[in-house]
A and B are shown apart, each in its own frame.
Chain A
Amino acid sequence: MTGWLARLVLGICFVYLGLNKALNPTDFLKAVHQYGWVDRTLYLTWIAALLPWLEVFCGLLLLAGFWVRGAAFAVFGMLVFFSGIVLHRALRIQETTGIDFSEIRFDCGCGNGAVLVGRKLVENTVLAAASLVLVLSRKR
């Protein structure tokens, strides 16, 4: 039951957020450019073009119940990595501007526009925990 729920939540989230980015790739490209974490900006084109469809693909696998552990682990990796860079950027903003962390809001390129970063990180933590449940609990 827990696994089924985790698959449903993760699958819907990744299909929805992935499609939002995939259908507006230039918005996503601009959002990831704002991070300044890639020296060669050509890589950003690849990230913006491919990552959203990869998210949709993983979401569909989770919903379909196929390659669940692999998809969940890929999703976990993406969540951890992108949460890390979102947190890093938020901390830099806090350091530069002195804005309270709970009030920092920007378009993190997560697929739903400008969001409160603190809330987004909590959401990502919940999703990462759900993906870990799938990775650890499901037997081959």
Chain B
Amino acid sequence: MRFLFIETCQVLAVGLAVALVVNQLSPRGLRLGRDYFQESVRLTGGTTAVAAAPVLPWPQVESLKRLPEITANEALALFQDPRRAQGQVIFVDARKQTVFQEGHIPEAYPLDRFYPDQDLPSVMLAGAAAEQVVVYCAGGLCEDSHYAGLQLIEAGLDKSRIRVFAGGFTEWTAHSWPVERGERGSGLVSNPLP
């Protein structure tokens, strides 16, 4: 029994050490000092109300609703708004890069909130000139759009400009509205609006 305990401790110690090193070396590794669910806490003056809120079980998980949300029709109206062509209305896709490549709202800026270093500067640049910034993720139970919106506010964007399209990409595609594949601005758009 004692040998089993010692061997298990050896496995855990070496295994965790290996895990630490591999996570540090991996480009997809997480930053161990970063709390990926605490942006809201910092924004609300250091309270722990959000962190302590109970998480309801699927499928009743409540979306955070800390940022104003818009419906699919409102998102479409903003998409068709002539100001979008002038960069005064922008869309931000808060899903991960691989699914962004598979399809996104045309001209949306990618912003994977877990790896913001690459995309945040360009989104902030565009967001600074925009009157409306619409953030979306997959929709449904997805909370990434809220967190990405909070990340933008933390980076300096005016909160009043940000809207979360709660239905997200799932609702957008359910309506068969335009979808762009590949990079932002690739021009590979399916279901273009008349």
List residues of A whose CB falls within 8 A of some B CB: 22-27, 29-30, 33-36, 39-42, 44-46, 48-54, 57-58, 61, 67, 69-71, 73-74, 77, 89, 92-93, 96-97, 106, 135, 140
A58 touches B15 (CB 8 A): yes
Of B53-61, B72-80, B123-131, the one with at least 4 CB within 8 A of chain A: B53-61
A69 touches B7 (CB 8 A): yes
Q: How large is the interface on B (under 10, 10 to 19, 20 to 34, 35 or more residues)?
A: 35 or more
Considering only residues 16-48 of chain B, those with a C-beta below 8 Å from chain A are 16, 18-20, 22-23, 26, 28-32, 34-38
Q: List 26 A-B contacts (CB under 8 A).
A: A25-B30, A26-B36, A26-B114, A30-B143, A33-B55, A34-B141, A36-B56, A42-B34, A50-B16, A50-B20, A50-B23, A52-B19, A53-B19, A54-B18, A67-B10, A67-B11, A70-B6, A70-B7, A73-B4, A73-B8, A73-B11, A74-B11, A89-B58, A93-B59, A96-B60, A97-B60
CA distance A57 to B31 in the complex (A): 20
> Do most interface residues of chain A lie in helix, strand or loop, or is the interface mixed?
helix
List residues of B whose CB falls within 8 A of some A CB: 3-4, 6-12, 14-16, 18-20, 22-23, 26, 28-32, 34-38, 51-52, 54-61, 96, 112, 114, 141, 143-144
**Chain A: which residue is nearest B56 at the CB level?**
A96
> Do most interface residues of chain B lie in helix, strand or loop, or is the interface mixed?
loop
**Which residues of chain B are within 8 angstroms of A69 by Cβ–Cβ distance?**
3-4, 7-8
B59 touches A97 (CB 8 A): yes
Smallest Cβ distance from B189 to chain A, in angstroms? 28
A54 touches B37 (CB 8 A): no
**Which residues of chain B are within 8 angstroms of A135 by Cβ–Cβ distance?**
4
B29 touches A34 (CB 8 A): no
Q: Which of A34, A50, A54, A70 contacts B61 (CB 8 A)?
A: A34
Smallest Cβ distance from B8 to chain A, in angstroms? 4
B11 touches A58 (CB 8 A): yes
**Which residues of chain A are within 8 angstroms of B3 by Cβ–Cβ distance?**
69, 140
B11 touches A45 (CB 8 A): no
Smallest Cβ distance from A105 to chain B, in angstroms? 9
Interface centre among A39, A42, A51, A93 (most CB of B within 10 A): A42
Q: What are the nearest 3 A-B pairs in CB distance?
A: A36-B55, A70-B7, A53-B19
Q: A45-B31, A46-B32, A73-B8 are in contact. Are A53 and B57 (CB under 8 A)?
A: no
